Chain A
Amino acid sequence: MLKNKERNRDVEIPQGSLADIAFLLLIFFLVTTTIDMDKGLEMVLPAKGEQQEVNKKNISNLLVNASGNILLDEEPIQLRDIRPLVSQKLQANPNLIISVKTDRRTKYQRYIDVLDELKGSNATRISIANPE
């Protein structure tokens, strides 16, 4: 009975709701789209076996210990002091390489903080030393 009825009718997909469907899909994609930008601090690691002799004058040692204390050239400093001090040092010597050395138990956030400050002071030559 039912089947007969359906067969007789002119079968057609209703077009009126097309715009509604499109809108619905549009909203779905609008909501799900996350234009998530990958942001971060860029670093280039030293190539393996690359040992360069660098003049001692051109190196600044920046040490970070396990509890996050910072030592710049044998002087304990605060995180916020990195930027002015490094900028100053860079102005005095543009070839300065900042060698960052961390303890194995230093927290990653601390390392990023330090790196962030170094980037902020326009230090381009940053080297990562292996912790002892």
Chain B
Amino acid sequence: MPDIVFMLLIFFMVSTVLREYQGLSVILPEAQNIEKLETKRHVTYAWISKDGRISIDDKILNMNDVRTIMYDKRVNDPQIIVSLRADKGSDMGLITDFHEELRQADALKVNYSSRTEA
């Protein structure tokens, strides 16, 4: 019995991800036809809040800095996927500017993080 418990314990310890990026407070949009991200390894999380703040890897950035940061990331990992966690109430202008920055950085794979409708 203790062996089984230990095994489970070790399993949960290993699978627990304690390094959790607490980004900006956003309410993700809802969608139905969503796909799961295949890997977590190449994923960078970008947060965009309703009031236009952008955060990548726990740092608040200006729109103009996104390009350089994302370019560095892409050079390190060409298969990079940007998981965009934008608030559902944010304006598309903001998102479009962000798209443009990503395009400049040549990071073209985007995943619009969303949740299934409850």
Residues of A within 8 A of B (CB): 18-19, 22-23, 25-26, 29-30, 32-35, 37-48, 64, 102-109, 111-113, 115-116, 119-120, 128, 130-131
Contacts and interface: CB of A to CB of B under 8 A. Distances in A.
Interface in B87-118: 87-93, 95-96, 99-100, 102-104, 106, 108-116
Given A45-B99, A47-B106, A39 B36 contact: yes
Contacts, number: 144
8 contacts: A19-B2, A29-B9, A39-B116, A40-B84, A45-B109, A47-B103, A111-B95, A113-B29
Contact of B112 (A29, A35, A115): A115
A115 B90 contact: no
A41 B16 contact: no
A121 to B, nearest CB: 9
B76 interface: no
Nearest to A117: B33
A19 B7 CA distance: 12
A115 to B, nearest CB: 7
B92 A39 contact: no
B15 interface: yes
Prevailing SS type, chain A contact patch: mixed
B80 interface: no
A11 B25 CA distance: 51
Nearest to B105: A48
A108 B92 contact: yes
A41 B33 contact: yes
A130 B35 contact: no
B19 interface: no
B86 interface: yes
B35 A33 contact: no
A45 B2 CA distance: 52
B114 A112 contact: yes
B33 A45 contact: no
Contacts of A108: 29, 86-92, 95
B114 A39 contact: yes
Contacts of A43: 109-112
A102 B29 contact: no
